[in-house]
Amino acid sequence: MQHFAKKRFGQNFLVDTSVINNIVDSIQPVSDDVMIEIGPGLGSITKPLLSRLEQLNVIELDRDIIPKLKRNCAIADPENKHKLIVNECDVLKFNFAEFHTSLINNNTTGAVKKLRIVGNLPYNISTPVLFLLLKNRHLIEDLHFMLQKEVVDRIVATPSIKSYGRLSVMLQTFFTTQALFEVPSYAFEPPPKVTSAILRLRPDTQFEKTINDYSLYEALVRQAFSQRRKTLKNTLKNICSVEQIEQADLLPIQRAEELSIADFVRLYSIIA
């Protein structure tokens, strides 16, 4: 049952065994983990995950690939028929909170673990997926994703470099971010035109008590980076005054790319 990658789903199937093993070893699955894989494809990562887990939920939009995924997993181990749960839907429409609540309601043995989410994210929806999971961070234990290297570079970027921006600030405010290793294009079939990288995110609660209005913080960061070359006093004139910028120990002539995460949180605290 051959499957041809569909461009509209951003499909590039991982086929390099050594890379697959490195990814699974980095995730370090434990048998009773509550794990979700986004975009399992033909099961290259799904199969080794299933070998270490009691159960694995996957989210897959391509209905044509699901029978092949189930078949591949069953061939690897007949027990996988009972361990693999396929959710056929768009990940951007998947209700993670409802999913976790259902686990709690159906559990009679004790507390339910937080979600461990993994996947080879389609490059065309990687940023929306990350922002969706950011809003569900209270449910999450950790995230391991394969992404375009350029996106990973942006996520882990530090102030005053070109790749530092809204994505860097929003994710680093609420997660510890770590780029693990690169994945060359020849590890995929068909090979993409870009290099990929593995990203690890773990929720970081140090600013959670300070930021009690997520929408306001998000609006502040978005506006600050809306015109990168302009200064704070110009980009933020509809959100805060020059006096408030100075009250946050910042200079109105600074640009957003110069501000650390702590700077953004401090400015938020002034205007909140």
Same domain flag for 198 and 222: no
Q: What is the DSSP letter of 104?
A: H
Residue 112: phi, psi to the nearest 5?
A: -90, 135
pLDDT score at 157: 98
Same domain flag for 122 and 167: yes
Same domain flag for 191 and 225: no
Same domain flag for 199 and 219: no
pLDDT score at 11: 57
Identify the band that residue 77 occupies on the pLDDT scale cut at 50, 70 and 90.
very high
Same domain flag for 153 and 222: no
Same domain flag for 112 and 172: yes
pLDDT score at 178: 98
Among 149, 179, 203, residue at a domain's last position: 203
Query: How far is Cα 260 from Cα 33, in angstroms, rounded to an integer?
Result: 34
Q: Where residue 230 sits, what CATH number does that domain have?
A: 1.10.8.100
Q: Are 1 and 71 in contact (CB under 8 A)?
A: yes
Same domain flag for 239 and 264: yes
Identify the band that residue 5 occupies on the pLDDT scale cut at 50, 70 and 90.
very low
Q: Are 70 and 82 in contact (CB under 8 A)?
A: no
- Mean pLDDT for the stretch of residues 195-213: 96
Task: Please write the tens of the pLDDT for every residue from 224-240.
Answer: 999 988 999 999 999 99
Portion of the chain with pLDDT greater than 70, in percent: 95
- Residue 168 pLDDT > 60: yes
Among 175, 203, 231, residue at a domain's last position: 203
Helix (H) or strand (E) holding 242: helix 242-247
Query: How far is Cα 54 from Cα 121, in angstroms, rounded to an integer?
Result: 24
> Whole domain around residue 238: which residue ranges?
214-271
Task: Please write the tens of the pLDDT for every residue from 66-76.
Answer: 999 999 999 99
Residue 56 belongs to some domain of the structure = yes
**CB environment 51-86: b (16+ within 10 A), e (fewer):** eebeebbbbbbbeebbebbbebbeeeeeebeeebeb
Identify the band that residue 2 occupies on the pLDDT scale cut at 50, 70 and 90.
very low
Residue 156: phi, psi to the nearest 5?
A: -95, 5
Could you tell me the pTM of the whole model?
0.92
* Identity of the amino acid at 108: T
Same domain flag for 199 and 67: yes
Query: How far is Cα 127 from Cα 123, in angstroms, rounded to an integer?
Result: 8
Tokens at 95, concatenated = 């209700």
Task: Please write the tens of the pLDDT for every residue from 113-124.
Answer: 999 999 988 878
Tokens at 54, concatenated = 């009691």
Identify the band that residue 190 occupies on the pLDDT scale cut at 50, 70 and 90.
confident
Same domain flag for 133 and 258: no
* Identity of the amino acid at 194: V
Residue 208 belongs to some domain of the structure = no
**List of residues 6+ apart from 98 with CB closer than 8 A:** none
Same domain flag for 191 and 102: yes
Number of domains into which the chain is organized: 2
Among 176, 203, 230, residue at a domain's last position: 203
Same domain flag for 179 and 234: no
Q: Where residue 125 sits, what CATH number does that domain have?
A: 3.40.50.150
Task: Please write the tens of the pLDDT for every residue from 10-30.
Answer: 457 899 999 999 999 999 999
Same domain flag for 120 and 222: no
* Identity of the amino acid at 74: A
Query: How far is Cα 107 from Cα 90, in angstroms, rounded to an integer?
Result: 26
pLDDT score at 207: 97
pLDDT score at 110: 67
